[in-house]
Structures are given as C-alpha cells and as structure tokens.
Amino acid sequence: MPVNSDTVRQELRTFITDSFLVGDETTTFTDTDSFMRHGIIDSTGVLELIAFLEEKYGFAPEDDEMLPANLDSIDNLVNYIKRKTS
Amino acid sequence: MPGRYFAKSMRVEDLLRRVAAEAPHSRAAWYDGQELLYGELDKASDLLAEYLQKHLPPSARCAILCDNSLEYCVWFFGILKARMAVVPLDTSLSADSLATILTDCQAELLCAQLKFRRKLPLLLDNAISISAVITDSPLSYSSRTVSHITLNEIVGPIGSSSADAKHNSGMFRPLTLNDLGADRADDSLAAIFYTSGSTGAGKGVMLSHKNLVSNTIATVEYLKLTSADSVMVILPFYYIYGNSLLLTHVAAGGTCVIDNRFLYPEVVLDTMEQQEVTGFSGVPSNFQILLGNSTFTARKLAHLRYFTQAGGAMATETIRRLMKGFPSKEIYIMYGQTEASPRVSWLPPERLAEKIGSVGIPVPGVRVIVADESGNEVPGGETGEIVVDGDNVMIGYWNQPDENRAVLKDGMLHTGDLAKRDSDGYIYIVGRKKEIIKVGGNRVSVKEVEDCLLAHDKVLEATVIGVPDPLLGETVKAVVVLRPNMTADAKEFVLHCKQRLADFKVPKIISFVDALPKYQSGKVNKLQLKQEHSGQ
C-alpha cells in the first residue's frame, strides 16, 4: 500500500530523535541534512535504522540498496520508502 | 642517508619529515576528493607546532576529537612536532566519558571537529583542565573561558582537489629496524590511547616514540610496504589499529585513502576501485559485512595486493571465504594490543592455509613467551598467558600504578590473553584472562556495563556476558534481576544505557531472570550463565 510522505517523514524524524539524539535538545537537522556528516547516525545506528524499516514498513534494503542516496537523510529515506512500497 | 633525519633520537614525526624531504609531492592522504601531499602535511604541522609551542606549556597533553580526515593528520603530527603528547579520543563516546578521559590525563588542548559540537558544552564544562580549543570550523560557544581558534587560522587551507587515483613513486626507501639501531629512538611520551579496562574505568595506554616507531617499522617490514602502496582506511585513527595504518604508510611514503562510510560497504568498495588501493585493513566484522552483504567478491579490485585483519579472532569460516573469494591476494592475520603499540604477531600469508586459526609468529624485533603463572615458558601445546618483550611494550598506564604492576613485570607485557604454541612456534589464542567482551574490535568492560545497569532504580542484580554474534564476533548480553514487585521491558534498559555508554557497549540483548546462578562464594557463575545464554 502506498505510504503518505508526510506521515513517513514524521515517523522517521521521531525515530531518529528518540533513538540517536537521546537527551539532546539542541541538535536540529533539516530533511536534506546528511546523517553522517552531522554526526547523527553511526554504523551501529544504521543497523538500527534498517531494523526500523523492516519493522515499520515491511522491507529491508537489498545489498545494492545500502547507499547514502537511499538512507542518509530524511528526504532520501522518504523517497526510498515510497519507491519500495509503491 | 636516513640518519640525518634523526640525528639524536628517532621520533614519530621524523617519519614524516624524512618522506617530506625526499618526496614532498607524494600523496600522504586522500579524503572525499581532496589530497594532502607530504610537503603540505609537513608544512601545516610545522605551523601548528609553532603555534602550540607559543601557547601551551611543554609536554602538554593535546586531545583530538575527530573522524579520519586530512585535519586529523595535521593535528596528530603538529602536536608531536610541538613535543607534546597526542590523546586520540573515541568519537563514539558520550560527553561524560570524554570529559572523564580529559580530566584523567589533564589535557590542556582539545582539537575538535565541529560535527561533534553537541558534545562540547558538557565536555568543556566538566573537563576543566582544557584551556584551549582548536576546531575545524568556526565555533560559537559561550561558557567558561577557553581560548578558541580554527585550524585554518593557524595553518591556512588544507588539501587540494584531486579526484583521480594516484600512485606515489616506489623509489622512496622505507626505514628498517637496522636503520633504527639499538639506541636511536626517543623514550618520551608520544601518545595516550584510552581503552576500556577490565575494571570499568578507562585506562590511558602511554606509548613512547620508541614504542610507535619500532612497531611501525616492524610492520612495514613484514607487510613489505613501499611508497607505491595505498591503504583503504576505514578504521578510525583514534583506534590503535587505525593509527598503525597512518604511521606505517607515512613511514613507507605511501598513501592513506580515507573513507568513513563503511556503513555503506558498496560506497567504500567503489572508493577502493576508483583510488586503486593496494591494501585493505579491517576487523572481523568488516570482513563479515563485506563477504555477507555486498558485491565484494564480484569486484575486480585489480590493484589490491593484500588484506590485513586484526582486532579480535576472525572465524576460520570467514577466513576461508576470504581466501576463496580472493585466491591471488595476500591475507595477513595479525594479533596485538594497544599496550603493544599494537602489533605482537603476524601470520605469513603463505602459511595461512596450513596454520588457519593461528595468529602467527612474533613481529620482527619482538619476543613472545607463552608463560605459566610464574612467568616461565610452558611446553609447546600447553596453554599459558601471552607475554610480550620488545621495544613495542608500552611505558605503562597513565596514573594507574596498580594496573602497571599487574601487567608490566621486568619490562614485559602480560597481555591477559591465553594461548598455545604448535611445534613450529605458531601461536593460537584460546581465551582471555580478563573480563572483556570484544564487539567488532571494540573492547567492552563487563564491569562498566554492569555498573551502568545497577544504577537503574529497578535493578536488583545485573550481570553482563559476551555471546556469539555472526556479524560482530561477540555482542553484549545483559541478564537482569528486577527488584521485588517491579516490572520493566528491555527497551527501558537500552535507553538507560544509551544515555550513559558508547553505542557499542549498550547491551543488544537483555534477559530478565528471577535469580542469577552463583558459586558458594556468592560470585556469579558466569560459566553457567554463558552455557545457558550462549544461544541468546
């Protein structure tokens, strides 16, 4: 079933804030900011992000989909999730 | 003539000075489309050293909080040239843990990337020894008074655009241990690398110039590195194995090709091909990921000559898969410890098939004894502790006299690792004396995680064990007994630990039990726990 972009955007933001910015109320990031460059998600975090995608949206990235273009910002994730669930 | 670069006594920065004098236009490092030449690195680190000598007391401890980058290289060598000590910091640690380290070593300077800015306020408020901060970009911070300047203001722009692969000329001659001689290396403190101790508190491993230079040159020798070599650096420089990649390639006049995106393996594989690297170095989980979840073995990697692996035992099945995937590449299995600068042993690639499971033979210039409790060598085939004797053995732990007495005896390092030797003298690790879990190359102190769990209001008892993990080698599992009439779920404890510990230390599995199995002495029977919980 196609997903609603705004809903997905909010779900992702909540997950990232709750999981990786625990207790940090000062860090802000835009929908286009790279998680890596901004020090928001490290390698362990990516594994958690993948587990979240699997649990929430019912798919895990294929090996050749493990790319920053799919996973390294809110916008990239939203577009990727839309493609995978359409 | 190499001797003119270390007329008095050899120091780590002399490795850089030597190659910068002979091959200034060779590429020292490449990162994200930017290259740094040896001449540029030498000049920038000279300028930084000059600044530091004007503004900091002699022998100051200078910490670096920075991902692998061109800036890291300048900071590292600039601090050494100022005759101060480098304290590389694990960027994944919490601000609390970092402040504890800075306070422990009474660091005066913090060199930080702005991407870690959210750690800085708490860190600087708590680490009051810090009097100056240098960042890679302008920082707006208003708390207690610390002087602040950017690296750019001191040394100017670093690096220049260069997307293409480049191989340095192979003409530069790396030093050998014979060049170094018996008394030419400097005994003074070069760096303090913090590791998790078995007791929970971090331990600062003090390494001298002699430690690092001798181990670097030994490693260059057995890996047969030349200035034409370039290594794919995915391991952080703050980790002693990553530091070794930096130093060995500077010593050889080679290139460090940096890519910090190993979480996206295909991107790193692309970099390896584009930059035509000749070496790849990883810990077991790196190889597991590459072999299990990427196009690794389908890649040509035409320029790659060798792999090195250290940072914990790699499953023999993984080694076999690597051998099968890349039959024409050399595979070096290595063993070491931060306390040994780090390399202790290596397995010659031509003996790998025959000696699979072994960590090999001592590196050049190092003696290894497999010893009993009294320090006497045990007969071949019997288990004993690995004891290391050589110029690579650390000065000691910073401010830890009891720990030093426990591990340094007659100048020899008692590693806490248990091993056997076969009839050819090859070493096989069989276990550890100390309570440490190794998660993907990172050391996790059992006590530190247990203390964190016990600080939770709902916890009556908690213990932590390492359980097998196909990706990481081992992962942290917590077994928790709740206080009477309390309820809790695992997520609550994961969150609690995340707020206090580095991510890799947070238990991935949490089990709740009514009671822990114990010996008559009251100590937790971890052997029984491991048997009951190893299936997770």
Tens digits of per-residue pLDDT, B364-407?
999 999 999 888 999 999 989 999 999 999 999 999 999 999 99
Q: Could you give the percent of chain B with pLDDT greater than 90?
A: 62
Domains: count for chain B:
2
Mean of the pLDDT values across residues B148-155?
96
User: Which pLDDT score is estimated for B410?
Assistant: 92
Q: Would you call A42 and B503 a contact, using CB atoms and an 8 Å cutoff?
A: yes
Report the length, in residues, of chain A.
86
B126 domain residue, yes or no: yes
What residue ranges do the domains of chain A occupy?
A: 5-85
**Contact state of B266 with A43 under an 8 Å Cβ cutoff:** no
Q: What is the CATH number of the domain that holds B456?
A: 3.30.300.30
Domain housing B5: 1-156
Confidence of residue B1 (pLDDT cuts 50, 70, 90): very low
- Interface probe, candidates B263, B268, B469, chain A, greatest A C-beta count within 10 A: B263
DSSP string, B467-497: EEETTTEEEEEEEEEEPTT----HHHHHHHH
Last residue of a domain, one of B124, B156, B188: B156
Mark yes or no for CB contact A63/B266 under 8 Å.
yes
What is the token pair recorded at B288? 């597991």
Is there a domain that residue B104 lies in? yes
Chain B residues with CB-CB distance to A27 below 8 A? 118
Average pLDDT, chain B: 90
The predicted model gives B451-470 an average pLDDT of 86
Give Cα separations from A14 to A9, A29, B252, B429 (angstroms). 9, 12, 48, 45
- Structural domain ending residue among the three candidates B156, B180, B206: B156
Distance (Å) from the alpha carbon of A9 to chain B's nearest alpha carbon: 22
Summarize pLDDT for B7-49 with one digit per residue, the tens: 458 899 999 999 999 999 999 999 999 999 999 999 999 999 9
pLDDT at residue B198 is higher than 50: no
Q: Which of B309, B174, B164 is nearest to B228 (CA)?
A: B174
ipTM value: 0.76
Q: Tell which of B105, B137, B156 closes a domain.
A: B156
∠ at Cα B342 (B336, B343), nearest 5°? Answer: 60
Average pLDDT, integer, range B216-236:
97
Judged by a CB distance cut-off of 8 A, whether residue B137 touches chain A is no
Report if residue B458 sits inside a domain: yes
C-alpha to C-alpha distance for B333 and B258, rounded to whole angstroms: 22
- The string of pLDDT tens digits covering residues B291-324 is 876 789 999 899 999 999 998 878 788 899 999 9
Are B503 and A67 within 8 A, CB to CB?
Answer: no
Say yes or no to pLDDT of B86 above 80: yes
Q: Is residue B103 part of a domain?
A: yes
B267 located within any domain: no
- The CATH superfamily assigned to A5-85 is ACP-like (1.10.1200.10)
Within a domain: B19: yes
Average pLDDT over residues B320-332: 96
Read off the CATH number of the domain in which B121 is found.
3.40.50.980
Q: Strands B202-208 and B396-397: what pairing?
A: antiparallel
Let me know if residue B522 belongs to a domain.
yes
φ/ψ (deg, to 5) at A47: -65, -40
Residue B56 included in any domain: yes
Q: What is the mean pLDDT of residues B433-460?
A: 82
